[in-house]
């Protein structure tokens, strides 16, 4: 039994929407990073689903590069969050007035 492409795309759109709502409503920097990760995973799901239905491995390769890029982004984001916590003693982005220094 094969799941239709529209179901995968609908699932990816739902994941992306949940991530976008989480990004816009959360003020905690860690929760915002998790929302960005959810959005990136939705994009990777699209790559894999479209590659599967095209019958080639291009989607899987693109998803692999997407995962590597997302890991690098999250590492840099967590480093910024750690520095933010050290300087401002909070990870709430509304309470931080300035990030330079």
32-90 residue pLDDT tens = 999 999 999 999 999 999 999 998 999 999 999 999 999 999 899 899 888 888 888 88
Asked whether residue 46 is domain-assigned, the answer is yes
Closest C-alpha among 43, 94, 34, 92 to residue 67: 43
Could you tell me if residue 93 is inside a domain? no
Tell me whether residue 95 is in a domain: no
Whichever domain contains 67, its CATH number is 1.10.287.3510
Candidates 79, 86, 73, 75; CA nearest to 101 is 86
**Count of domains in the chain?**
1
Calculate the CA dihedral of residues 51, 53, 54, 60 and round it to 10 degrees: 10
Any domain includes 58: yes
Write out the residue range of the structural domain in which residue 56 sits. Answer: 5-88
Assigned domain for 94 exists: no
Integer angstrom CA distances of residue 72 from 52, 54, 69: 26, 29, 5
**Cα(98)–Cα(89) distance, rounded to whole angstroms?**
13
pLDDT at 29: 87
């Amino acid at each position: 039994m094969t799941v239709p492409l529209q179901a995968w795309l609908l699932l990816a759109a739902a994941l992306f929407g949940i991530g976008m709502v989480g990004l816009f409503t959360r003020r905690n920097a860690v929760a915002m990073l998790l929302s960005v990760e959810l959005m990136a995973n939705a994009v990777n799901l699209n790559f894999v689903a479209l590659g599967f239905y095209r019958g080639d491995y291009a989607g899987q390769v693109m998803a692999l590069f997407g995962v590597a890029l997302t890991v690098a982004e999250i590492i840099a984001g967590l480093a910024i969050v750690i520095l933010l916590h050290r300087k401002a003693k909070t990870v709430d982005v509304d309470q931080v007035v300035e990030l330079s220094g």
